[in-house]
Every structure is written in structure tokens, then in C-alpha cells.
Structure 1
Amino acid sequence: MGSTTAIPKEEGLDHTIELLKEGYEYIPNRMRQYDTEIFETRLLGKKAICISGEEAAELFYDTELFKRKGVVPGRIEKSLFGEGGVQGLDDAAHRHRKAMFMSLMEPQRLHVLDEITKEQWEIAIDKWKAMDTVALFHEAEEIMCRVACRWAGVPLWAKDLELRTKDLGAMIDAFGAIGPRHWQGRRARTRSEKWIAYIVRQVRTGNLTADEDTALYQIAWHEDLNGNLLDIKTAAVEILNILRPIVAIGRFVTFGAVALYENPEKQDKLIADKEDYSQKFVQEVRRYYPFGPFLGALARKDFNWSGYHFKKGDMVLLDLYGTNHSPKIWEYPDVFWPDRFSEWDGSPFNFIPQGGGDFEMGHRCAGEWITVQVMRTSLKYLAGKIDYDVPAQDLSYSMLRMPTIPKSRFLIENVRRA
């Protein structure tokens, strides 16, 4: 083994409290403090090596060096991800399950998704015209719940819409939470898994017919590498891995509305959409506003990287927020500037709002294309299909709350068609 450099280390028994106090800025703050892109700390009683930047992301997504099984803390698994889902698989099992998810991203299915999204925005606009005040975040989550269920082939009764929206939203809201928000997320997951498990049973017994192109059908009848159907609970978890991320788009849509309000000169450009401007605008929303703070993996073996030594079993955290705001990667990183994506090189490692790496073989979010498409359609509606007034409110967002959202949830009034 060649000589190595000691990894900068944050002294102390545990720094979970500091993480909660600093939120998205916890890792970037220490990167600046130590003038590095790597440091060691302790979180939840365990050693963790934090890394940031494009080269760090490329390392993190090397599946020969890192694995995902066993990395997600139980509290997050029992609220956000569920147990047995694709996020915790590795190697052949992961590739096989991931291929099933990627098969749902065919162009025709994405076209269907786009049409459903437009239809649901039309319905929402008619509803909002009769409302005195609209809290866009809550309404956007409801739109996304309808879109998700319709596209996935999951039956959703009108009487259950509010409950299902709140439950899917609560799972998302729980991932960086302690106390009431965490427990709400856990209860929401229990209810949601029971709901979807019942539907899967109905499909398998022939009491419910599902379209073969939908996620419901594909996951209900998906076979593992041994030719066995997924158990009912795992199938429910994976269907929720379709529904929940689409509902999460409601946060990005809300931040997109804030960006339009605070940058009104960009509205006409978004409507005209010359040179694919809506794509650039959406990508900048995803880069600029905080969503996921970091991701974790476990070292498969001892290895050296950039002069640092990693041991088998080391927990490694990739800094998403810091990488997306790194001045080494992005010019004027704290400025909202969609045109920066005119020159973006398309690297899967320097722009990582939902993770990075390879879609087909790696752990990059399979639903990223869904996120971008639904955001483009949604923000075009907000920019060009409706007019509305924005009353005085607090549009700031906490960098401590994970996931964050504007404090006012973005209120609009006097909604009318443009």
C-alpha cells in the first residue's frame, strides 16, 4: 500500500445534533472549514466519511467500491423508502430490479404521463378559480398524487384523495425529521403499504385488471432472479417508489413558482421556450433549491482514492447540496441563472439533485426523467396558462428543515385563465 494522507477529522463523540442544527449546510460548512472535499465525522453514533464534488461523485457511484445494502438507517427505511426496495439492492439483484423500473420510462409512457399532467392541471385551474386563496404546495402535491396514481394504474377514489396525498407527502416530509414529522411519516407508510398491498392482491387474483404498460401491472407480476414473484409487501414498496417520488415533484413545482415570482423577466422566456429554455429553467430549479442533502453508501473493500485510505465497511456520504452549489463547478452558484445550462457538459457527476451516475446500471434515480418532464409541463402552466396575484407572505425557506419548503407554501389569489 502506498503512502496516504490522513482524512481531516471532526473531533467529538457525535455530531448528529450539529447536523440537525445546520441542515443542508452541515457538510459544506466543514468542507470550507477544512479547505477540503473530504472529512470524517460521527453521525448517529457511527463513523461517516463525507465527500463532495464531481470527482467524489464519480467515486461514490463506482459499484465495485461501494454498495447500498445496509446503508439506510432504519428510521428512514421505515418512513421514506420502505423495506426491501430497489434502493437497498446491489449487483445482479439491483440491475434486474432497476431494469424493471427503467422499462416504465419508454417514450410512449412518458408521453402518456405528459398528457395526464396537462389534464390534471386543467382540472386544478377550474377548482382554484373558485377559491379565495390557494396554497400552491398543498395543491401541487394533490395534482401530483392524481397524476401518479393515474399513470401508474393505481385506482384512486375521490373520497381517498386527501388521505393518500397527505400520506405520500408525509413520507417525503419525514426523511430529515425527528419527533412528530417522523412518526407521521411512519404511520403514513404503514397505511400506504396496506393500501397498495390490497391492490396488488386484487390484481394477482384477477379481481382488478391492470393495463400491461402500467407500473401496477409490471411490479405486481415482476419476477426476481429466481423466477419468483415479489412478495406482496415488497411489491407494495416498489409501487410506492413510483407514487411517492412523483408526489415529491410538488416541492420542485412550488420552488419553480417562487423562481418565476422572484425572476419575472424569465417568465416570457419560459413561455416561448426557445432553444429549450424550459429544460434549462427546470434544471436550474433542481440545482438551486435544496432537496436531498446527501446520500450514503458502504465501502465494499479497502481502497485508496486521491491519497486517502478507505476501509471496508466505511460509511460514505456524498454531499448533494454542496456539489450542486460548488464554486469549483458552477459559476456564481448562489445566483438563479437557467442559462448556465446552455454550456453544461451533461456530466452525470457534477449535477446531482437526485443523485448521479448511470441510469441503467447504477443507483441514479430512475424517475429523474419523470421529474424533469412533469416540471416542464407544470411550470409552463404556471407561467403561461393562468394569471394570479401573489399576496404578501414569507417565501423564505429554512436550510435546517430537511426537506425544506417555502414557509408560506406559496400562496396565490384571484386565479384566472390567461
Structure 2
Amino acid sequence: MSKHSDIPKEEGLDHSLALIQEGYEYIPSRRSKFKTDLFETRLLGQKVVCIGGQEGAELFYDNDKFERKGAVPKRIQKSLFGENAIHTLDGEAHEHRKLLFMSLMTEERLEQLGELTREEWRLAAAEWAKMDKAVLFDEVPQILCRVACRWAGVPIDAIEVKPLARDFIAMVEAFGAVGSRHQKGRKARKKMEDYFEGLIVEIRHRRMEPIEGSALHKMAWHRDHKEKHLDEHTAAVELLNVLRPIVAVTYLVTFGALALFQHNVWKEKLQDGDEESVQMFAQEVRRFYPFAPFLGAKVKNDFEWKGHTFEKGQLVLLDVYGTNHDNRLWEEPYVFNPERFRNWNGGIFDLIPQGGGDEATGHRCPGEMATLQVMKTSFSFLTNEMIYNVPMEQDLSYSLSRMPTYPESGFVIQGVSIKSQTTV
């Protein structure tokens, strides 16, 4: 195979600083500038190819061409995902581990997740009713931390939820960060890995009996594709990869509250209790607002695509944010319009806020269904069970240069009360 390439190349020695400064817009802006879904740059001292669009996403999730081993930088493993986590596996090991996660996503367990979410929102709203104001981005992590722990079977009676929730957010905040914000995330992950590893040890020594079928139980006793128990550390890492994404939904819930405020017609539609409207609204929140900026994989073996030779071992980044705003896939992509999902065909390479591809066998995030359940329950509660005011004296803007991002004010609400006519 000839080693040729005529794709655009970004000039310069390294563009890591530009990536940090531009955030979500780094890859989309260059795709627009070069008028292509394929360009080459240099990040962290290495040559990187960036791809996007539906065809790019389809290529990225071709397991014959790409692998995840070595693609997730150590700095991200040590803060966000954990080392030797499912995100770093390929082939049989990945498929077997993914079945473990998918086993938690049964209809019954997802319904339970929704019920727990509603319960915790009720408890929180009752407390907010006693306060002058509440900042959603500060309060929702505590709600979702309790939800995640209860759903996973993690005993929370002896846990201080507020600092635990703060640590989960610190882990997510470390992505795309340098300096103290990144170090804070690494410290939070180390602290939590140690704590949850201790729980796994307690279970394996029969000093603690988790609820059978819970995530805690399954992680503690899971056998890998070689019929070996996960070591205690890896079991703790994967348990955190059940808990952390649920708490991370905080960003999407906060953006959803912003959307309900700025697009009041949708608040009215959700108040009608129409399940389809709630689903469409949640999907548009996931598409429209920034969450994951990009994802990485490494080339398995040389291959050619669109006249470019992808070389073995090369790092490739998929433009997640840009693909979710691609005008070839979405009409008026920078307009918030849940109606676009009314007759949506459910494509696996166009809506990719948490990654794309096949849910069952590919690398698509296994927690996507849980994310939607938590979002839909939260939005239903905000519209049907809670009354609140949104003070105008706050900054509701958000920066696309910050990864991850959220409204500057954290979305302040006042005058909280629970609707008396709420039925359970």
C-alpha cells in the first residue's frame, strides 16, 4: 500500500495549546476551514488525524480498523476512566466486559433507576423549599450520587454524599483541564478507587453481602473472558464506571433546565405528560448542548480511506460535538428543536453525544439508556412536580472553550415548592 496523503495538514509543531483554548470548536473549526471531514494535526507531540461526520463516525467504529488499547491517554485514565477499564479493551475482552455492563440495563433495572431518581428529586426539592435559592449544578450531583449508589447497591448510610458527589464531578472536570483542576480530578479518582477497592475486598472476604444482581455484586464476582475474577482494583474501577456517568448527567440536566427556561413552549409540552415529547426533548438536549468533545482510537493496521493512508498505531480523533452539529445530518443544527426527533430513524452514526456505533457489540456507551432514563425523569419532575422561579440576575452563558462546560451561574432557581396535586 502506498504511503501517500493529500489531506489538509495544520501547520506548526504542536497544537495542544490551541485545543485547550478552543475546546469543543477545535476540530469543527478546522473541518470547516479545510472543507473536509479529514485533516491532520499534531497534539501532545504526535501526529493525529481528526475525522467527523456520519461517514467518519461509521469508519471510527469499524472494529477491524481501530482499537482502543493505547488510545486513551494516561492522564485521562488516571482521572476519568481508570486504568484497564472497559474503554481501553478490544476484541473478546471488550465484548465480555461490555456484557457485564449491559446486564445492568434491563428494563426492570432502568425502571428502578427512574423511580430512585424521582425519589431523590422529591427529597432535594423539599430541602430547596427551605432555602433562599438553589444552584442546580451544585445540587444535582448530590441527587445523582445518591441515585447512583442506591441503584448500584452501594451502602450510603456511612458515606458523606456531598464530598463524594464533589469527587465524582472533579473526575469529570479533569477532562480537558490542566494544572490544579486536572490534579484535583486525579486525587479524587485515587481516593475513590481506594475506597471502592476496600468494598470489593470486604465482599470477597464475606464480611459484606451486597444485593444480588446489583452493580456492586456483579463487579465483585465478575469473571473475565478467561474465567478469572477481576482483580480488586479493576473491579473498583469498573464500579466507578457505573457510578460516575450517572453523576455526570448533571451537566445534561443543568442544560436541560436551561432549555426549559429558554424554550418555554417545551416546558408546556412536557407538562402535558406526553412520553414522546419527553424523549424528543432529552435527545435534543444531548445533541444540542456540549458534552463529550471528541473520542480517540488507534489504527490497527494500515488502510486507506478517502485517499489517505491511515498508518498502524496512529491516533485518530472523532469529532463528536461537530458531528452532532453537522448541517448534512441536522437541519439548522445550531437551533434547539426537539421536533427533529419526532420521526428520527435512530441512526447509530449521527447522534453520538456519548459515542456511536452498535450498542450490543460495538464501543457505544453502555450507559446511554441509563443517561436517558435519568434525564427524562429529571425533566418530568422539573416540569410536573416542582414550581420554581429563575432569577434574571445570573449569567446563563456557557463557554465552548471549557471542556466540560456548563452555564456560568450554575443555573440558579428560587421560590421552590412541590406541587400539591402531584400523584405518586
Name the TM tier (shorter chain): over 0.9
Aligned to 2:355: 355
- Residue 121 of structure 1: SS of its match in structure 2? helix
Whole-Å separation in 2 of the counterparts to 1:319 and 1:330? 15
Aligned to 1:172: 172
- Residue 160 of structure 2: SS of its match in structure 1? helix
Aligned to 1:386: 386
- Residue 316 of structure 2: SS of its match in structure 1? strand
**Counterpart amino acid of residue 136 in structure 2:** L
Q: What TM-score comes out, normalization by structure 1 length?
A: 0.98
Deviations 1:26-71 (A, max 9, x none): 0011011101111000001011100010000000000000000011
Aligned to 2:57: 57
Q: Give how far 1:202 is off.
A: 1.2
Deviations 1:218-250 (A, max 9, x none): 110001122211111100000000000000011
Whole-Å separation in 2 of the counterparts to 1:41 and 1:413? 47
Whole-Å separation in 2 of the counterparts to 1:3 and 1:76? 31
Q: Give how far 1:316 is off.
A: 0.5
Matched, 1:109 2:109: yes
Contact 2:3–2:309 (8 Å) recurs in 1: no
Contact 1:3–1:307 (8 Å) recurs in 2: no
Structure 1 unaligned blocks of 5 or more = none
Whole-Å separation in 2 of the counterparts to 1:324 and 1:12? 28
**Counterpart amino acid of residue 70 in structure 1:** G
Over 3 Å counting, the alpha-carbon distance change for 1:361 and 1:157 in structure 2 is same
Range 277-286 or range 153-162, more displaced: 153-162
Q: Give how far 1:141 is off.
A: 0.8
Whole-Å separation in 1 of the counterparts to 2:157 and 2:177? 30
Range 301-310 or range 334-343, more displaced: 301-310
Whole-Å separation in 2 of the counterparts to 1:21 and 1:378? 32
Whole-Å separation in 1 of the counterparts to 2:389 and 2:177? 33
Whole-Å separation in 2 of the counterparts to 1:68 and 1:49? 15
Aligned to 2:376: 376
Aligned to 1:251: 251
Aligned to 1:208: 208
Contact 2:23–2:402 (8 Å) recurs in 1: yes
Aligned to 1:311: 311
- Residue 62 of structure 1: SS of its match in structure 2? coil
CA RMSD for the aligned pairs?
A: 1.2
- Residue 413 of structure 1: SS of its match in structure 2? strand
Whole-Å separation in 2 of the counterparts to 1:96 and 1:74? 23
Whole-Å separation in 2 of the counterparts to 1:103 and 1:3? 44
Q: Give how far 1:159 is off.
A: 5.2
Whole-Å separation in 2 of the counterparts to 1:273 and 1:38? 43
Structural mapping, 1:16-165, within 5 Å: 16-157=16-157, 160-165=160-165
- Residue 147 of structure 1: SS of its match in structure 2? helix
Q: Give how far 1:208 is off.
A: 1.1
Whole-Å separation in 2 of the counterparts to 1:292 and 1:346? 19
Aligned to 2:263: 263
- Residue 256 of structure 1: SS of its match in structure 2? helix
Matched, 1:239 2:239: yes
Over 3 Å counting, the alpha-carbon distance change for 1:3 and 1:184 in structure 2 is closer
Runs of 4+ in 1 over 3 A off after TM superposition: 1-5
- Residue 309 of structure 1: SS of its match in structure 2? strand
Whole-Å separation in 2 of the counterparts to 1:74 and 1:362? 23
Contact 1:121–1:143 (8 Å) recurs in 2: yes
Deviations 1:134-173 (A, max 9, x none): 0111111110000000000011136511111011110011
Q: Give how far 1:203 is off.
A: 1.1
Whole-Å separation in 2 of the counterparts to 1:202 and 1:155? 13
Whole-Å separation in 2 of the counterparts to 1:243 and 1:59? 30
Aligned to 2:406: 405
Range 97-106 or range 157-166, more displaced: 157-166
Contact 2:47–2:314 (8 Å) recurs in 1: yes
Q: Give how far 1:2 is off.
A: 7.6
Q: What TM-score comes out, normalization by structure 2 length?
A: 0.97
Whole-Å separation in 2 of the counterparts to 1:327 and 1:359? 25
Whole-Å separation in 2 of the counterparts to 1:328 and 1:395? 29
Q: Give how far 1:343 is off.
A: 2.7
Whole-Å separation in 2 of the counterparts to 1:310 and 1:367? 30
Matched, 1:416 2:403: no
- Residue 270 of structure 2: SS of its match in structure 1? helix
Aligned to 1:278: 278
**Counterpart amino acid of residue 412 in structure 2:** L
- Residue 40 of structure 1: SS of its match in structure 2? strand
Whole-Å separation in 1 of the counterparts to 2:227 and 2:309? 40
Whole-Å separation in 2 of the counterparts to 1:3 and 1:181? 41
Aligned to 2:422: none
Percent of residue pairs identical: 52
Q: Give how far 1:309 is off.
A: 1.4
Aligned to 2:321: 321
Whole-Å separation in 1 of the counterparts to 2:74 and 2:131? 41
Whole-Å separation in 2 of the counterparts to 1:275 and 1:193? 38
Over 3 Å counting, the alpha-carbon distance change for 1:168 and 1:406 in structure 2 is same
Range 156-165 or range 34-43, more displaced: 156-165
Contact 2:282–2:372 (8 Å) recurs in 1: yes
- Residue 304 of structure 1: SS of its match in structure 2? strand
Range 305-314 or range 358-367, more displaced: 305-314
Aligned to 2:364: 364
Q: Give how far 1:20 is off.
A: 1.1
Deviations 1:7-33 (A, max 9, x none): 210011000011111110000110111
Whole-Å separation in 2 of the counterparts to 1:212 and 1:109? 13
**Counterpart amino acid of residue 409 in structure 1:** G
